[in-house]
Amino acid sequence: MNINDKSNPKFYVPSPDRYKTMKYNRCGNSGVLLPQISLGLWHNFGFYDSFENARNILKKAFDLGITHLDLANNYGPPYGSAEENFGRILHKDFKGHRDELFIASKAGFDMWPGPYGDNGSKKYLVASIDQSLQRMGLDYVDVFYHHRPDAETPLEETMHALDLLVKQGKALYIGLSRYSPEETIKAQKILSDLGTPVLIHQSKYSMLERSVEPKLLPTLLDEKIGSIVFSPLAQGLLTDKYLKGIPEGSRASKDNTYLQADEVPKTIETIQKLNKIAQNRGQKLSQMAISWILTQPAITTVLVGASSPLQLEENVKALDNTIFSSEELDKINKILS
């Protein structure tokens, strides 16, 4: 069998054009470039999801130049299964391409029972990264995050643990997720003094969730920390998916997801108005939602989720039109205010 035979689905041959169209931004004050759109594996990559679909989404991502993949110890369900599936796919399809990928994992939410499987202790973080590396079959992750701040653990302990992981070679860089501006400044001071400054900060940001704008984004610029923002499509609300109700199979139609069905009627009017502006721009609503985020100078990369390769392909087309007139921005602000 010829492993370069693209018509044979058994072997994945990445597109030779994969770096031709994606744009890459420098992440804070570092040597790392990240694609303007990154892929998160929170949903659609667990044991309850289709393995083949997960595999196809990752192949599509790589073909589109999406080099940054975001995981966490507890992604699934069940917990750990997204990392395990990702490890299998990496081994099957991306052999020889590890060094083209920038892979993130995290710990900070509940992962295993008892007092050592949650929050921000050194005990938890050290054990968790070892488990993540084992599940993914990796020697190191490119960036390891503390997934959320922990008010009970001294910040020094958590930051020293993250620094230790870098010094041990288990992670190349450190990230912070959901840290407030004040917590980020304190953490950055501790880590910089240790010689391991924070590479990147992860927070929720979309047209429907703008709380990071007044303080966090300027802080990240001041501190020269990169910014990756999650749920940019408000988990699908900022797409054309819910314009006519809640389709079967969508996130809002499922139990145990973070997008409640009652969110849809609450936001439908706003979404319809935004959709009209997107249409006038010749974009889909999802594309406008992504390109609007990229107008913020603090943003390094927009972290999308996708339940199909087609969604991802559609979302990446956002990069074809990232310029907004001041009139468009005013109209959007009026709708959102």
Ligand X SMILES: NC(=O)c1ccc[n+]([C@@H]2O[C@H](COP(=O)([O-])OP(=O)(O)OC[C@H]3O[C@@H](n4cnc5c(N)ncnc54)[C@H](OP(=O)(O)O)[C@@H]3O)[C@@H](O)[C@H]2O)c1
- Please give the C-alpha separations between residue 297 and each of 46, 125, 265, 315, in angstroms, as whole numbers: 34, 32, 32, 20
168 vs 295, which CB is nearer to ligand X?
295
Assign residue 58 a region: left if phi > 0, alpha if psi is -120 to 50, beta otherwise?
alpha
226 vs 232, which CB is nearer to ligand X?
232
Least distance in angstroms from the C-beta of 176 to ligand X: 10
Inter-helix orientation angle 326-336/263-280, to 10°:
170
What's the chain's length in residues?
337
Least distance in angstroms from the C-beta of 35 to ligand X: 14
Least distance in angstroms from the C-beta of 232 to ligand X: 5
Judged by the rule CB under 6 A, the positions of this chain that interact with ligand X are: 40-43, 70, 147, 177-178, 202, 230-236, 239, 241, 250-251, 286, 303-307, 311, 314-315
As separate numbers, helices (DSSP H) first and strands (DSSP E) second, the chain gives 10, 10
Least distance in angstroms from the C-beta of 148 to ligand X: 7
- Please give the C-alpha separations between residue 160 and each of 122, 175, 280, 325, in angstroms, as whole numbers: 8, 13, 51, 46
Assign residue 114 a region: left if phi > 0, alpha if psi is -120 to 50, beta otherwise?
left
93 vs 314, which CB is nearer to ligand X?
314
8 vs 47, which CB is nearer to ligand X?
47
231 vs 300, which CB is nearer to ligand X?
231
Strand 24-26 to strand 33-35: parallel, antiparallel, or no bridges (unpaired)?
antiparallel
Least distance in angstroms from the C-beta of 294 to ligand X: 14
